[in-house]
């Protein structure tokens, strides 16, 4: 069932959950928008969800799709069709992947090329961030205002990886221009030289196992870079968002910045809430530890708890997947030594069910907070709100109807192209039963409507949270 443009579609008896409210209601949808919220609504097509929980469609603001990744120059294996099918099945109706600027390439060329590459190949709506890797002799700061005007207002900057990193001088110049034109810089904060030094030490002792990836990037490597990024943000008077914060004392640094009124925002991901460095194995064994190699690496139980707490207090603002798909096979994830394992884990499809099960149902966060972290605040921060990220009259009818039922995550049931999940065998207690994109049911009974109905969303009007 779906709402054609002129037909009204009523979703009856919903337990609607937004970032701030929970209420019983019917939802009327017309022309892809929510046009009515109330009781006893009628329409051309009616679907009774029997008081199940209905949330706004998820907004995953950090995923890498069809992207050459890390220093190895490998390409991620999920393409737009597979990654967006996975997103849809997991309840995410809007994603924001990255257009990577290759060194020597004009930023606007990278953005235009990626936009063309992904067009008409998406099951869900999408915006596009870019990754800045080159100042291009002053051309990048000229391209940034134009990119923002074109609806691409967010830019990731790396402090690590030789092929991606920018130095502090360049970061200052970039974030100043981004801020002046109303955009937002996303910072990957890890100290590159510390990582190289630690990596060389480990390798010189013959230590090669996947756990050494975590040993080469201890928490202080993230903490130092996060603190430095905050200093750069203060100096340039520019807001920043620290991506994929892994926990520990980095959160203290973020909290201090927020308490002193600095425009510093932050993101974490399910891998930092649910995995630990123990998943990477020990110093002498591989044992599949490569499956969990991401940067920063998963930490320990204490870090997990401090992240859950930071989500409750607002020190962590959003939860994204940081989906990166490399196959678990020789030459891809499986390498002779940890330093050449491509970084990143897949997670587009499992982000929301995991956070719902291990956050909401484990009483670590409320259902409203879940919506806030996974849909509303990402939509606000990245210029999609109120079109996306909420249940309100005039908003896109992007909705998820949730089923409470027990299942176990298995790679075989997922829709991504990559050949493993780091959450194999993990129990879940919820799964999206129905997913609606702009009024059309795109997922029901675990099957997808086979049309690339996703559209590019030009973003503007970033709403940064109070800090």
- Cα separation of 52 and 419, whole Å? 33
Residue 77 binds ligand DUC (CB under 6 A):
no
Applying CB under 5 A, the span of 28-36, 101-109, 136-144, 319-327 interacting with Zn ion comes to 319-327
Residue 322 binds ligand DUC (CB under 6 A):
yes
Q: How far is the CB of 152 from ligand DUC (least distance, A)?
A: 18
Q: How far is the CB of 5 from Zn ion (least distance, A)?
A: 36
Q: How far is the CB of 70 from ligand DUC (least distance, A)?
A: 6
Residues 6 or more apart whose Cβ sits within 8 Å of residue 114 = 66, 98, 99, 100, 128, 130
Q: How far is the CB of 63 from ligand DUC (least distance, A)?
A: 9
Residue 324 binds ligand DUC (CB under 6 A):
yes
> Which residue, among 466, 332, 343, 446, has the nearest Cα to 86 in the 3D structure?
446
Residue 188 binds Zn ion (CB under 5 A):
yes
Applying CB under 5 A, the span of 50-58, 172-180, 184-192, 254-262 interacting with Zn ion comes to 184-192
Residues 6 or more apart whose Cβ sits within 8 Å of residue 180 = none
- Cα separation of 369 and 311, whole Å? 8
39, exposed or middle or buried, with CB in 10 Å at 0-12, 13-18, 19+? exposed
Residue 333 binds ligand DUC (CB under 6 A):
no
The interface partner of residue 343, options being ligand DUC, Zn ion, none and the CB cut-off 5 to 8 Å by kind, is: ligand DUC
Segment 214-243, which members bind ligand DUC (CB under 6 A)? 243
Residue 217 binds Zn ion (CB under 5 A):
no
Applying CB under 5 A, the span of 7-15, 47-55, 271-279, 320-328 interacting with Zn ion comes to 320-328
The interface partner of residue 97, options being Zn ion, ligand DUC, none and the CB cut-off 5 to 8 Å by kind, is: none
Q: Where is 177: in which H helix or E strand?
A: helix 168-180
Please report the DSSP string for 348-391 in residue order: TTTHHHHHIIIIITTTSS-HHHHHIIIIIHHHHHTT-TTTSSS-
Which of 344, 383, 389, 422 forms a contact with ligand DUC (CB under 6 A)?
A: 344
Structure token pair of residue 133: 């890797």
Segment 286-315, which members bind ligand DUC (CB under 6 A)? 294-295
Task: Name the DSSP letter for residue 454.
Answer: -
* Binding characters for ligand DUC, 117-156, by CB under 6 A (x = yes): ----------------------------------------
Applying CB under 5 A, the span of 131-139, 185-193, 350-358, 459-467 interacting with Zn ion comes to 185-193
Which of 125, 322, 332, 349 forms a contact with Zn ion (CB under 5 A)?
A: 322
The interface partner of residue 321, options being Zn ion, ligand DUC, none and the CB cut-off 5 to 8 Å by kind, is: none
Q: What residues form DSSP beta bridges with 264?
A: 240
Residue 323 binds Zn ion (CB under 5 A):
no
- Cα separation of 198 and 202, whole Å? 6
- Cα separation of 105 and 130, whole Å? 12
205 phi and psi, to 5 degrees?
Answer: -95, 5
Q: Where is 431: in which H helix or E strand?
A: strand 427-437
- Cα separation of 159 and 147, whole Å? 22
125 phi and psi, to 5 degrees?
Answer: -70, 155
Residue 335 binds ligand DUC (CB under 6 A):
no
Residue 70 binds Zn ion (CB under 5 A):
no
Residue 161 vs 452, nearer CB to ligand DUC:
161
Q: Is the dihedral of CA 73, 112, 318, 90 positive or negative?
A: negative
C-beta nearest to Zn ion: residue: 188
Applying CB under 5 A, the residues found at the interface with Zn ion are 188, 322
Applying CB under 6 A, the residues found at the interface with ligand DUC are 64, 188, 243-244, 294-295, 322, 324, 343-344
């Amino acid at each position: 069932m779906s709402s054609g443009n002129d037909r009204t579609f009523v979703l009856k008896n919903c337990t609607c959950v937004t970032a701030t409210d929970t209420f019983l209601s019917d939802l009327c949808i017309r022309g892809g928008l929510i046009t009515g919220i109330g009781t006893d609504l009628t329409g051309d097509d009616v679907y009774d969800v029997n008081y199940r929980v209905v949330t706004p469609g998820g907004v995953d603001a950090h995923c890498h799709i069809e992207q050459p990744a890390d220093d190895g120059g490998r390409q991620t294996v999920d393409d737009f069709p597979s990654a967006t099918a996975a997103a849809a099945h997991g309840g995410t109706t809007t994603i924001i992947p990255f257009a990577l600027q290759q060194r020597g390439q004009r930023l606007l060329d990278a953005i235009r090329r990626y936009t063309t590459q992904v067009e008409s190949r998406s099951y869900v709506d999408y915006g596009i961030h870019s990754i800045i890797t080159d100042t291009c002799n002053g051309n990048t700061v000229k391209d940034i205002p134009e990119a923002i005007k074109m609806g691409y207002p967010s830019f990731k900057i790396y402090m690590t990886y030789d092929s991606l990193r920018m130095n502090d001088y360049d970061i200052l110049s970039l974030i100043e221009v981004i801020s002046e034109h109303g955009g937002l810089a996303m910072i990957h904060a890890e100290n590159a030289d510390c990582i190289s030094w630690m990596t060389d030490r480990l390798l010189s002792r013959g230590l090669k196992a996947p756990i050494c990836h975590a040993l080469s990037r201890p928490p202080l490597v993230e903490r130092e870079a996060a603190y430095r990024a905050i200093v750069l943000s203060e100096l340039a008077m520019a807001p920043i968002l620290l991506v994929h914060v892994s926990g520990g004392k980095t959160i203290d640094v973020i909290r201090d910045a927020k308490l002193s009124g600095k425009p510093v925002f932050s993101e974490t991901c399910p891998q930092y809430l649910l995995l630990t460095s123990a998943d990477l194995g020990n110093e002498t064994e591989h044992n599949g530890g490569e499956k969990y190699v991401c940067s920063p690496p998963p930490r320990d139980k204490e870090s997990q708890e401090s992240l859950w707490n930071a989500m409750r207090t607002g020190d962590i603002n959003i939860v994204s997947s940081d989906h990166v798909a490399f196959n678990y096979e020789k030459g891809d994830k499986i390498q002779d030594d940890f330093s050449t394992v491509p970084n990143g884990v897949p997670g587009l499809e499992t982000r929301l069910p995991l956070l719902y099960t291990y956050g909401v149902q484990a009483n670590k966060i409320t259902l409203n907070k879940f919506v806030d972290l996974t849909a509303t605040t990402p939509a606000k921060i990245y210029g999609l709100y109120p079109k996306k990220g909420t249940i309100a009259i005039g908003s896109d009818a992007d909705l998820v109807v949730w089923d409470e039922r027990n299942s176990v995550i298995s790679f075989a049931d997922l829709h991504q192209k990559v050949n493993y999940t780091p959450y194999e065998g993990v129990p879940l207690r919820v799964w999206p039963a129905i997913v609606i994109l702009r009024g059309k049911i795109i997922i029901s009974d675990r099957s997808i409507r086979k049309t690339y109905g996703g559209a590019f969303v030009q973003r503007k009007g970033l709403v940064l949270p109070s800090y």
